[in-house]
Amino acid sequence: MRSRLLQPETPLGEIGERELVRHLQSRIPLGPGVVVGVGDDAAVVELGPLTLVTADSLVEGVHFRREWSPPRLLGRKALSVNLSDIAAMAGVPRHATVSLCLPPETTLAFVDGLYDGLLERAAETGVNLVGGNLSASGNAIVVDVTLLGEAERIVRRSGARVGDLVVLTGYLGAAVAGLRLLLQGARLDEEGELVATGMWTETSAEAVAHCLRAHLDPRPPLTFARALSERDLVHAAIDVSDGLSGDLQQLCQASEVGATIDGAVVPVDRHAAGLERARGGDALSLALNGGEDYELLLAVPPDGVGALRDLAVVWNLPLTVLGEFTSGPEVLLKRGETVAPLPAAGHDHFRTLRSDPPAAGGGG
Amino acid sequence: MRSRLLQPETPLGEIGERELVRHLQSRIPLGPGVVVGVGDDAAVVELGPLTLVTADSLVEGVHFRREWSPPRLLGRKALSVNLSDIAAMAGVPRHATVSLCLPPETTLAFVDGLYDGLLERAAETGVNLVGGNLSASGNAIVVDVTLLGEAERIVRRSGARVGDLVVLTGYLGAAVAGLRLLLQGARLDEEGELVATGMWTETSAEAVAHCLRAHLDPRPPLTFARALSERDLVHAAIDVSDGLSGDLQQLCQASEVGATIDGAVVPVDRHAAGLERARGGDALSLALNGGEDYELLLAVPPDGVGALRDLAVVWNLPLTVLGEFTSGPEVLLKRGETVAPLPAAGHDHFRTLRSDPPAAGGGG
């Protein structure tokens, strides 16, 4: 029985917390390995032998804006940014809790759209939603997901060795290009279809839609990452969330090594590169410093690259050898004959906000 | 080596995210059962056989105000509200992640104070901090803690049976009295010592300090709850976070029973009752509807109450039999000769905010 209060445009201030909790509970299925799902003091799950846990928030005005993030895509992304972290440990994602801070004027349609995305993405990736928390907030929506995973064997950031190759999955730069397009008025609808190209003409529609999707609905290489856990091909891994330059430095610091990568081989997303060149920009810089790509950066022993490539073919996943890990400690970028330090120019939440207060964007 | 940036009054906007992450990481020890702590893509822990997970947020302007919540006490409470949920399942709390949303003008002193409280409370309760997330926010601080626990046997909300006794630990009403005192200008300092009595005179200082501490630094009966998991004395449990009337109704709904409780025996905190009577208020209403007491409400078979009392004596924990569970479905309150339905008048985030916009308070 659906309460007469539960109309799509009803603000939460009229529905009330308990009614909303009951409504959301009725939407969430009980999955495998879940002993107690939503609706008790805590969820109870079966996991093992190792339990992975990661948490990541999407904050309105920082990571998204309501006017450009359809709630369904926001729900998908809130889970995806956490899936990326479990993937970077070669873990299997299993159970998630969702903490929402919502201003009282938020509508039920927004919350239901958000849960459409969360439930859909959870179903795609074999994750159970097992609980969470609802709280009012003054004026900004916060979607905070904690994701539990399991593994028998994990891949850490700290395992890279001198001589290992720096290997990247996929292409870089589309997500940050998408963020720029959003700032210029380009939009996707709830279904991820292009509804406004912003300052671009219809001839760029495919590239615009591709970059918007990369920003609003990222797809980390989850099943490839899961396959890594079953093989001993990779010494270290990190997900590229803050930008290649920053995340490579993180990996190097954790492993106490340096790295040299070749700018000429950095795989820039072709749509992002096309748009960037059209506006006279530097596509490589987009790929080095953009952030939110949610690809994997791996340290691979040279004799393991062949087997890794064979594996990636199964998922049609491009792999690029960017360079190699060195005794360091510097992270260097080769551009033609020049080799120079690569500054970690990735996203910094507190600094970005200071210089650009009401903007949005930035890795998890 | 402490960076010269890391001075207590430096705003986070100048320190930057990476430096802050490094600083916080250096403060967090690696505890038992933690395979990978902070600083990788995800934390890795060993847990079992059942894994409990709960999440709860403290939102500035909703659950606390910066001017009355010393950061150390805020950190303690952020963990305590989650500890209460694990206790209500009779679980053992083990590992926590902390997601912080912080405006860029937040000082390092605030974040360090918050972590002082988190680390202290974690050490008191055997919990490891294993990771989390830092994000900027527009203007409100959000402290979101996810707590993992473990258990061999759990106590759910749904196990209450007709004829079971309604049993409560501790006393009610002090936390909501404390909230009212905060609104009237009473204050504790960082160490939990009284620094302002607000509208009350020094003769009420003990009562004022007691109620402020109940609100700002709640102490759920954790070790008693843990002992429950080793015995089969209790059919169902819930923590009293939203208020006795609301939480009793939740327990009844989950168990598909009703309940009748006796207003004459509801244990009102004596300090809260004294202050409430001095202002001409109804102390019982404070206890029935106040919220944030973080005591346990239990369904206990009549022949198990004796053993439960013996157990509670070990912790010097008062137990009160409030009434009994009935075939229901109503929850009734006996006051003298009158028996009337007890409306679930506990806290509702979205509704409270609507009627009283910039206030603070309310259960997790």
| Contact status of B91 with chain A (Cβ, < 8 Å) | yes
The three-class DSSP label of residue B344 is: coil
pLDDT tens digits along B244-289 = 999 999 999 999 999 999 999 999 999 999 999 998 989 999 999 9
Q: Which residue has the higher pLDDT, B203 or B300?
A: B300
What is each CA distance from B65 to A60, A247, B345, in whole angstroms? 21, 36, 23
List of residues 6+ apart from A308 with CB closer than 8 A: A167, A233, A234, A298, A300, A319
pLDDT tier at B328, thresholds 50, 70, 90: confident
Among B263, B345, B294, B17, which residue's Cα sits nearest to residue B171?
B294
- Is the ipTM of this structure higher than 0.95? no
Considering CB atoms only, which of A42, A54, A104 is closest to B54? A42
In the DSSP assignment, the letter for residue B268 is B
Number of H helices, E strands in chain A: 12, 15
The reported pLDDT for the residue numbered A19 is 78
In the DSSP assignment, the letter for residue A363 is -
The reported pLDDT for the residue numbered B21 is 73
What single-letter amino acid sits at B138?
Answer: G
Q: How far apart are CA A238 and CA B36, in angstroms?
A: 14
The three-class DSSP label of residue B363 is: coil
**Contact predicate B261/B334, CB 8 Å:** yes
B12-151 homologous superfamily:
PurM-like, N-terminal domain (3.30.1330.10)
Q: How far apart are CA A315 and CA A221, in angstroms?
A: 9
* DSSP β-bridge partners for residue A265: none
Question: How many beta-carbon pairs below 8 A join chains A and B?
Answer: 275
Quote the Cα angle for B317-B322-B323, to 5°.
140
Q: How far apart are CA B123 and CA B155, in angstroms?
A: 25
Q: Are A157 and B95 an interchain contact pair (Cβ–Cβ within 8 Å)?
A: no
Least confident range from A216-225, B293-302, B346-355: namely B346-355
Q: Are A354 and B154 an interchain contact pair (Cβ–Cβ within 8 Å)?
A: no
List of residues 6+ apart from B194 with CB closer than 8 A: B186, B187, B188, B205, B208, B209, B212
Q: Are B154 and A44 an interchain contact pair (Cβ–Cβ within 8 Å)?
A: yes
In the DSSP assignment, the letter for residue A209 is H
Largest Cα–Cα distance in chain A? Answer: 70
Among A165, A136, A179, which residue's Cα sits nearest to residue A325?
A165
**Contact predicate A242/A289, CB 8 Å:** no
Half-sphere exposure of B59 (CA within 13 A, CB side): 33
pLDDT tens digits along A241-280 = 989 999 999 999 999 999 999 999 999 999 999 999 998 9
List of residues 6+ apart from A153 with CB closer than 8 A: A90, A229
Which of B10, B41, B240 best probes binding to A when mutated, by most A CB atoms within 10 angstroms?
B41
Q: Are A350 and B15 an interchain contact pair (Cβ–Cβ within 8 Å)?
A: yes
Tokens of A199: 């300052």
Is the per-residue pLDDT at A145 higher than 60? yes
Compute the mean pLDDT over every residue in chain B, rounded to the nearest whole number. 88
Tokens of A165: 């190759």
* pLDDT above 90 as % of chain B: 63
The three-class DSSP label of residue B22 is: helix
A157-355 homologous superfamily:
PurM-like C-terminal domain (3.90.650.10)
pLDDT tier at A8, thresholds 50, 70, 90: confident
Considering CB atoms only, which of A36, A53, A133 is closest to B45? A53
The reported pLDDT for the residue numbered B350 is 66
- Burial code (b: 16+ CB inside 10 Å, e: under 16) for B278-302 equals eeeeebbbbbbbbbbbbbbbbbbbe
Q: Which residue has the higher pLDDT, A62 or A349?
A: A62
Quote the Cα angle for B323-B327-B332, to 5°.
45
pLDDT tens digits along B95-151 = 999 999 998 888 888 988 999 999 999 999 999 988 878 888 878 899 999 999 998
Is the per-residue pLDDT at A347 higher than 90? no
pLDDT tier at A77, thresholds 50, 70, 90: very high
Cα of B134 vs its chain's centroid, Å:
23
Domain residue limits, chain B: 12-151, 157-355
Compute the mean pLDDT over every residue in chain A, rounded to the nearest whole number. 88
At residue B93, φ and ψ (nearest 5 deg) are: -70, 140
Considering CB atoms only, which of B47, B61, B136 is closest to A51? B47
Q: How far apart are CA B165 and CA B155, in angstroms?
A: 15
CB neighbours of residue B38 within 10 Å: 20
In the DSSP assignment, the letter for residue A173 is S
Q: What is this structure's pTM?
A: 0.89
